[in-house]
A and B are shown apart, each in its own frame.
Chain A
Amino acid sequence: MKKLSFAALAGLLATPSAAFAQEAGGIDQAVNEVFAAVTGPFVNLIFAPLPGTSFPWIVLWLVVAASIFTLYFGFIQFRAFKHAIQLVKGDYSDPKDAGEVSHFQALATALSGTVGLGNIAGVAVAVGIGGPGATFWMILAGLLGMASKFTECTLGVKYRNEYPDGTVSGGPMYYISKGFIERKVPGGKIMAILFSIFCILGALGGGNMFQANQAHAQISGILGDYPGWITGVIFAGVVFAVIVGGIKSIARVTEKVVPFMGVLYVVAALVIIAANYQQIGWAFGQIFEGAFTGLGIAGGFVGALIQGFKRAAFSNEAGVGSAAIAHSAVRTKEPITEGFVSLLEPFIDTVVICTMTALVITISGQLMVDPATGNYLMDGNMIQTVGGTSGVALTSAAFASAFSWFPYVLAIAVVLFAFSTMISWSYYGLKAWTYLFGESKRAELTFKVVFCVFVVIGAAASLGPVIDFSDAAIFAMAVVNIAALYVLMPIVKKELNSYLSRLKSGEIKRFKG
């Protein structure tokens, strides 16, 4: 069945452009139906709500794990926060290692994979349904998620493969297979294979097709409607140039522009918040009150909690295992140091950037309040907004209330974020692929070409079920990864205790600062 759907997708690509417009709808529909029938049970299983609630069990799985890691490592995200910043600044980096991958670079690379559409559109959806109170739960889940990242990224560096030619490969598949043997727990190899399969599917879906699709939606929103395959082919060409052609300059420009966009986004948000400083107290009041009462939203405070937890978990990918792949290339003799650095990732992604989006939406007054009761006005399960907007359009409207030109900047930011997320996920998928099929140039090229083909498919068609499936695959990665983290967390604890005692005794040398 799966082969059939892939054949249909290949046919979709080969169809000439003129005929495409007429036939795409029919082919799309056929692909949707076949794919939905095959993958539906898997998607439903991953996103199944807990009995009697609308709370997906996978979100609880991520939040419970983050809470357990937080307690097990004694609130490491707060204890090690200052040290993490010192590590990123290079205070503990040996000058002799200059020219190797620094902690800052590993963190920036991992961040470019997580900061994206979720921070802009996802938060707007969360606040639009769960009200400002969702922000409180989102921040809480973001803070807890820091402990999950710490655990997985430490293991990512500890069990990476270092090859004789000096290149490295790391990630959950390596720590699961090697770590389970060390802990004498069976089933490591099977879990590693399972993780790799989900990682490939997640990379092609959420890390690729979804991004291409949303980027096209943004561009066509500004330029007017035009066929998605045009965006797809251009994007695929640029992605191809970077990942296959090794055109470093494009990647370098993107990797420089993306952080700039991120900073610009936060600065614009801060300016809007500062300009409405009289409202800050009120906004935080709404966030705290909404967190525990719901302020009239559907499902009350539980509704706010679900939306907040969901957004944090989906945005920062803590526990998914993707970051462990990105962080494993750092040059360090102490794997735990990369764990410390990685805990800054959910902090920047969720606690800072997502919160900015939520605050701007709240402060800009886009969410309509009933003056009589102080509760939000509802339209079905959504809060009514001033312009009837939701998702990225709601964020755009909130920023436009202060800067009329901001929607254009936002559109560029979304496209660039989508691109950098694709580049990051192409690597995550590649590492899973080479884990399964061996590290050879041929295996690498095969995956890269497949990846570029999926860029076109993602932009050309709105393959809802395919996107659902790839989201489910990303969270299936978390099912395998977190189960493995429970087995391997004593190893991280040992590393942590050893490092902290050597740091205290002065054996770990500080080089500057």
Chain B
Amino acid sequence: MTTSIVVGLDGDGSGMRALDFAKKLAKGMGTCELILVYVIEWSPYSFQTAEENAVRHKRREEEIEAALERVVTPSVAALKKEGFSARGIVRHGDVADLLNTVAVEEGADQIVVARSSEGGFVKRVFGTATANLVMHATVPVTVVG
């Protein structure tokens, strides 16, 4: 049976650390698919002007394209070159919520994420995406330092 690992990407160094660790795990497991997930932070309850609403569909497509082009597609290509089985997913929403949702949908064995780099006031009040994921996930989570 093929196992799979969901890896949270964020477009910078911490996401790559998570990916490096996931690669190590995958090598040890044998047949393992790496599912790279990039979440574009978005809330259906945010406030926007009418003009922003009118171009929202277009912006959404652009955001997905940019995420695929800059982060997800190059990472997947690099993994495939190294001989891994890999694919990428880009979604809009809450990071913690979506990483868990994708892991459940895909039947993944675990989620690998990096320790968040957010800090300060926001972190103290709302917690980081990683902390929220660890608190609420229904799939095992590995946090890479």
A-B contact count (CB 8 A): 92
Q: Are A168 and B44 in contact (CB under 8 A)?
A: no
- Complex interface bits, A86-112 against B, C-beta within 8 A gives 1, otherwise 0: 000010010100111110111011101
List chain A residues, Cβ under 8 A from B12: none
User: Smallest distance from the beta carbon of B39 to chain A beta carbons, Å?
Assistant: 10
- Determine which of A105, A242, A252 lies in contact with B53 in the assembled complex, contact meaning CB atoms within 8 Å: A105
Residue of B46, B49, B56 with most chain A CB atoms under a 10 A cut-off: B49
List chain A residues, Cβ under 8 A from B47: 105, 108-109, 112, 252, 255-256, 258-259
- Interface segment among B24-32, B58-66, B123-131: the answer is B58-66
Residue of A101, A104, A106, A258 with most chain B CB atoms under a 10 A cut-off: A101
- Complex interface bits, A43-85 against B, C-beta within 8 A gives 1, otherwise 0: 0000000000000000000000000000000000000000000
List chain B residues, Cβ under 8 A from A101: 48, 53, 56-57
Residue A225 is within 8 A (CB to CB) of chain B in the complex: no
Q: Are B49 and A331 in contact (CB under 8 A)?
A: no
For this complex, into which size category does the number of interface residues on chain A fall? 35 or more
Q: Are B45 and A102 in contact (CB under 8 A)?
A: yes
Residue B82 is within 8 A (CB to CB) of chain A in the complex: no
| Known contacts A109-B47, A255-B47; is-contact A167 B54 (Cβ 8 Å) | yes
For this complex, into which size category does the number of interface residues on chain B fall? 20 to 34
Residue A251 is within 8 A (CB to CB) of chain B in the complex: yes
Q: Are B57 and A100 in contact (CB under 8 A)?
A: yes
List chain A residues, Cβ under 8 A from B58: 165-167
The closest CB in chain B to the CB of A326 belongs to B50
Q: Are B93 and A98 in contact (CB under 8 A)?
A: yes
Q: Are B48 and A255 in contact (CB under 8 A)?
A: yes
CA distance A259 to B46 in the complex (A): 11
Residue A169 is within 8 A (CB to CB) of chain B in the complex: yes
Q: Are B49 and A423 in contact (CB under 8 A)?
A: yes
Main secondary structure of the interface of A (DSSP, over half): helix
- Complex interface bits, A143-178 against B, C-beta within 8 A gives 1, otherwise 0: 000000000000000000000011111000000000
User: Smallest distance from the beta carbon of A326 to chain B beta carbons, Å?
Assistant: 5
CA distance A105 to B92 in the complex (A): 15
Q: Are B91 and A109 in contact (CB under 8 A)?
A: no
CA distance A165 to B58 in the complex (A): 6
Q: Are A109 and B57 in contact (CB under 8 A)?
A: no
Q: Are A167 and B93 in contact (CB under 8 A)?
A: no
Residue A325 is within 8 A (CB to CB) of chain B in the complex: yes
The closest CB in chain B to the CB of A105 belongs to B48
Q: Are A166 and B50 in contact (CB under 8 A)?
A: no
Residue B122 is within 8 A (CB to CB) of chain A in the complex: no
Q: Are A427 and B60 in contact (CB under 8 A)?
A: no
Chain B positions near chain A (C-beta within 8 angstroms): 40, 42, 44-58, 60-61, 63-64, 91-93, 101
Between A and B, 21 residue pairs with Cβ closer than 8 Å are A90-B44, A95-B93, A98-B44, A99-B92, A100-B60, A105-B45, A105-B46, A106-B53, A108-B48, A109-B48, A109-B53, A166-B58, A167-B55, A243-B51, A251-B48, A252-B47, A256-B47, A325-B50, A326-B53, A423-B49, A423-B50
